[in-house]
Structure 1
Amino acid sequence: LAAVVKFGAESLGTNDNEAQIMLINSIKDVAVALHNLMSVTRSASGKNIMDPEMQKLKESAKVMVTKVTSLLRTVKSVEDKAQRGTHAL
C-alpha cells in the first residue's frame, strides 16, 4: 500500500508538491482510521449489540466513512486542478 501511495504521489510530478502532500495526508488519515476500525472490530466481535464496544465500532465506522469521503474529495480536487492546468495550455 505504501508503495502504491508513493507512486501515485510521484505521478503528479515534482511541480505539484502541495497536491502530493494533500494526497499523502488524506491517505494517511484513511490508513489510521482503517487500523482503528480493524482494532475496534476485533474488540466488538461476538459482543451484544448493547455492549459499549459496539458503540465504539459504530463511531469508528463513521470516522472511516468520513476519512474516505475526504480522500475522494481531495483526489477530485487534485484532478480538477490538473485538468485546469492542462486546459490552460
Structure 2
Amino acid sequence: MAEPAVRLPMPVAYCDPAFRACLLGAIEEPELVSEFNRLYGATLGARTTAIEQMVDKATGMRGFAKFVHDSVYTRLSDEAIHSLRAGALAAAH
C-alpha cells in the first residue's frame, strides 16, 4: 500500500508538481472555468479589453488557483496525487 499523499497548503502548493499539474488540467476544462466565472463573477478566458485582461490575469488566476486547490487538489485520492507527481517528475527529466 502506498504512503498517504501530502497535500500542501497555499501558497506552498505552487511548489508541488501535483498541484501544478492539477491546475494546468483544470485550466483546460471549459466547464470548470465557466462555473468558476459564474460563482465568483470572474471573466477568465473571456474576450475583454486589454486592461481587463491584465487585471483578470492577476486577480482572477489567483482566485482560480485557490478554487482549484480547495475544490480539486485537496479532494484527489492519494493514488491520483502520487500519479500526478510521478508524471510531472518524469516529464522534467
Which of the five TM-score ranges fits, normalised by the shorter chain? 0.3 to 0.5
- Whose relative contact order is higher, 1 or 2, with alpha carbons under 8 Å and at least 6 apart? 2
TM-score w.r.t. structure 1 length? Answer: 0.36
Larger-gyration structure (1/2): 1
Which has the larger share of helix?
A: 1
